[in-house]
Every structure is written in C-alpha cells, then in structure tokens.
Amino acid sequence: MNIESIVFENNTLRIINQKELPQTFKYITLSTLSNVIDAIKSLKVRGAPAIGILAAYGMYKHAEFLYSKNQLNINNLTQAADALKSSRPTAVNLGWAVDKMMKAFLKYSGSPIDDVLLSKLKETAVNIHLNDKNTCASIGKFGAQLIKDRSNILTHCNAGILATGGRGTALSVIYEAKKQGKNIHVYVDETRPVGQGARLTYWELTKNNIPATLIADNMAASLMQLNKIDSVIVGADRIAKNGDTANKIGTYSLAVLAYYHQIPFYVAAPLSTFDFSIESGGEIPIEFRNKEEILAFWNIDNKNDYNVYNPAFDVTPNHLISGIITEKGIIKNPVELNLKQFYTN
Ligand code: MRU
C-alpha cells in the first residue's frame, strides 16, 4: 500500500488524520499556522520526523499568508517559529526543521523580490520532506543487515510510514528485510496510553503485508522469557551526544528487558534526531500530556478525583542500546564511544 502521511501538492498541505485510524483513513487539509499547530498538539500527525516536515510546511504557508497581508518580516515569522517549536517539546526534529526554515528566510530575505523568498521557503520545506524520504530508505538498507531470516521483532509506538516522510525508521528496517526475502513477523506493543502501536503500527504493517501480532505492553517480558523475540527495534525523538535516547514512554522498560534477556535492542533514527548540544539524556525535555489520555480509555469522567502521571516519553541510557541505525550507517555498541567517533569524523 502506497500511502504518505503528509502530502504537499499544488501548494496544498494535507495529512492523514491519525486520530481517526484505524477506523477511518482520511486526509485533511491544513491551511493555516494554527491548523498545523493544532494537528501537531492533538497528534493528528505525530512521530519525530513527520512533525518536523509538517512544521516546515507550516512555516512556508504562514510566510505566504503574511506576504499576502504585507506583513512578512522577521518578527512575525519568529513568532510562528516559537509557537511551532513549543507545540511539542521532546522531538528535536521539530526545532531542527523550523531552524532550517528561519535560516532560509534570513538568507533570502534581502532578495528584492519577495516571490523569490517565498519560492525559496517552499523549496526548503519540500527538500526537508524529500530528504526524509531518502533517509528512511537508507536507514532501512543499513538496518536490514541486522535482521536474520525468520525473525520475530518487537516494536513499540509507531516509527513507520505514518511517522515520517518515507517508509519510516524502525519499520523501514522491517520493510526492507521483507523486501530482501526475509521471513519476518512483528510483535506490536499496544503502546498505552495513546495506542500508537494498536491503532497505527498494526494497521500500517498489515496493510503492507507484514505478519503482525498485537500485544499489551505488559506482555513483552513473558515473550522474551519464552525466547519468542529475536530483536527489538524502535524509533527515537531525541538522541543526546552520549547516545541516551528519548522515545515513546515504555521504550526504556523494553530496553531493560532486552538487556536482561540478552536480546539486541536497536534504535533507528535519522541524524536530524541527534541533539549534539546536550551531553546526556537527563537534559532532554520530556513532554507531559493531559490526564484525559489515560482516563478516557476507562471511560472515567469524574476526572477531578484522579491524580494522573502521563509523560509521553522516557529516556533509554546508551549502554542498553545495541546499535543506532542511521542513514549514514550503524553506530554500534558501545554507542557512547562509537558515537563520539561518528560526529568528530
Ligand atoms: O507521541 P508520538 O506518537 O509522536 O511519539 C512517537 C515516537 O515516540 C516515535 O517512536 C518517534 O517519534 C520516532 S518516529 C520515526
């Protein structure tokens, strides 16, 4: 199935409304900056690379709007950039893409014809999108080398087509291994509380003919104990300079379990997910989400009676990671040491 999570055609920006999956597969059009910010905050679009791509298009569409009002200037665009960046704090790809757009604005804002500036902004956003597509394909190719024939792979959250501009990061590895003729079966963590695994990954994998089995998050340990998992592959939202990795809440527990059971635990992520400005995972800002996400599942409406703890992400320490699969190659364990060589070369 050839689907794209974000489509930009004829100057129109459309996304799959992921809140409605798997019941309804529907594209919606985002015309304004506030449409884009709402889509990111409400998880209509989610996944680190995808929200970066969408933010870039959001910047372009907003610049176009400001231009039509004769208000395209650095102050107004910086305000939009700040609003986008704070819409979700953990995935570094969001700030990375917005900064690229601001750089393009600064580079071309001296241009005598504003149309040139607008077309350069459009080009920058489209390139971020296209590059992500190629990046996903490369991650798949490098990662597939790690996957043996007849593998049972466990994944968490959704790091696939729905989360990127291409075939995904963790799921790209699976798609590529399958394409190479390997027999793959995927255990899909439900991924409470929002259910990205149950609602999105299971849907995406089965639409792409990958055999999958859905499990509740608390079943992974038992599967590992029974030798039913050969490797774990997940995505990432931000990777610190030492390789500590933030990803969907629950990823850390899988890494601990994999370590205990001596199962390889891989992170697949583009270089845009690395944040070399921070030394370690403790510095990664973790997004906390509302209590409704947890209570709604149980149809609890006396919400005021409940204290709820709902971090969207956790941090996996570098020593639990067997390798980080990027578009430039695999950073193997010990990740901290090998990552140092990777970014200094
Ligand atoms: O809250 P989400 O659904 O945006 O969280 C997404 C994840 O944690 C993904 O694993 C990560 O962004 C990588 S997507 C290629």
- Summarised one tens digit per residue, pLDDT across range 131-158 is 999 999 999 999 999 999 999 999 999 9
* In-domain check, residue 290: yes
Residue 177 confidence (pLDDT): 98
d(CA 191, CA 235) in angstroms, rounded, equals 13
Among candidate residues 237, 229, 240, 315, the one with its CA nearest the CA of residue 265? 229
Q: Quick one: average pLDDT of 38-66?
A: 98
For residues 15 and 111, membership in a common domain is answered with yes
For residues 111 and 34, membership in a common domain is answered with yes
What atom in ligand 1 is closest to the CA of residue 312?
Answer: 1
Residue 345 confidence (pLDDT): 64
Residue 164 Cα to ligand 1 midpoint, Å, equals 9
What atom in ligand 1 is closest to the CA of residue 48?
Answer: 12
For residues 216 and 172, membership in a common domain is answered with yes
- Partners of 325 in the beta sheet? 268, 330
Residue 227 Cα to ligand 1 midpoint, Å, equals 27
For residues 82 and 99, membership in a common domain is answered with yes
- CB of 186 within 8 A of CB of 212? yes
For residues 126 and 178, membership in a common domain is answered with no
62 CB-side CA count, 13 A: 27
What atom in ligand 1 is closest to the CA of residue 269?
Answer: 15
Kindly state if the Cβ of 48 falls inside 6 Å of ligand 1. yes
Q: Quick one: average pLDDT of 200-211?
A: 98
Kindly state if the Cβ of 39 falls inside 6 Å of ligand 1. no
H or E stretch at 6: strand 6-9
Kindly state if the Cβ of 273 falls inside 6 Å of ligand 1. no
pLDDT tops 80 at residue 343 = no
* In-domain check, residue 1: no
For residues 105 and 163, membership in a common domain is answered with no
Residue 158 Cα to ligand 1 midpoint, Å, equals 6
Sequence-distant (6+) residues with CB within 8 A of 287 are: 88, 89, 90, 311, 312, 313
CATH of the domain at 82: 1.20.120.420
For residues 200 and 326, membership in a common domain is answered with yes
d(CA 60, CA 124) in angstroms, rounded, equals 9
Kindly state if the Cβ of 248 falls inside 6 Å of ligand 1. yes
Residue 207 Cα to ligand 1 midpoint, Å, equals 20
Q: Which residue's entry shows tokens 């902004």?
A: 121
Among 136, 164, 194, the domain-final residue is 136
Q: Dump pLDDT digits (tens) for 12-42.
A: 999 999 999 999 999 999 999 999 999 999 9
pLDDT tops 80 at residue 5 = yes
The model's pTM is 0.96
Catalytic pick from 189, 217, 237, 275?
237
Kindly state if the Cβ of 46 falls inside 6 Å of ligand 1. yes
Kindly state if the Cβ of 242 falls inside 6 Å of ligand 1. no
Mean pLDDT of the chain: 96
pLDDT tops 90 at residue 69 = yes
Residue 299 Cα to ligand 1 midpoint, Å, equals 25
For residues 112 and 183, membership in a common domain is answered with no
CATH of the domain at 235: 3.40.50.10470
Among 93, 121, 136, the domain-final residue is 136
Structure token digits, residue 171: 């799921």
Q: What separation in angstroms does the CA of 318 have from each of 50, 84, 241, 257, 333? A: 24, 29, 10, 15, 8
Residue 196 Cα to ligand 1 midpoint, Å, equals 9
Q: What beta strand segments (E) does 11-68 contain?
A: 12-16, 27-29
For residues 103 and 155, membership in a common domain is answered with no
For residues 330 and 259, membership in a common domain is answered with yes
Kindly state if the Cβ of 45 falls inside 6 Å of ligand 1. no
Q: What are phi and psi of 293, to 5 degrees?
A: -55, -35
Residue 111 Cα to ligand 1 midpoint, Å, equals 38
d(CA 196, CA 236) in angstroms, rounded, equals 14
Chain mean position to CA 92: 10
Residue 340 confidence (pLDDT): 84
* In-domain check, residue 317: yes
Residue 113 confidence (pLDDT): 64
Residue 112 confidence (pLDDT): 65
Instruction: Give residue 91's domain range.
Output: 6-136
Q: Dump pLDDT digits (tens) for 71-124.
A: 999 999 999 999 999 999 999 999 999 999 999 999 998 766 667 899 999 999
Among 136, 163, 189, the domain-final residue is 136
How many independent structural domains does the chain possess?
2
- Partners of 213 in the beta sheet? 187
For residues 224 and 268, membership in a common domain is answered with yes
Query: Confidence band (pLDDT; 50, 70, 90) for 189?
Result: very high
Could you give the angle at which helices 114-144 and 48-68 cross, rounded to 10 degrees? Answer: 170
- CB of 261 within 8 A of CB of 225? yes
Kindly state if the Cβ of 47 falls inside 6 Å of ligand 1. yes
Kindly give the pairing relationship between strand 231-234 and strand 265-268: parallel
Supply the residue whose CA is at minimum distance from atom 8 of ligand 1.
248
Structure token digits, residue 205: 């994998």
For residues 125 and 214, membership in a common domain is answered with no
What atom in ligand 1 is closest to the CA of residue 157?
Answer: 10
Does residue 115 have an active-site annotation? Answer: no
Kindly state if the Cβ of 196 falls inside 6 Å of ligand 1. yes
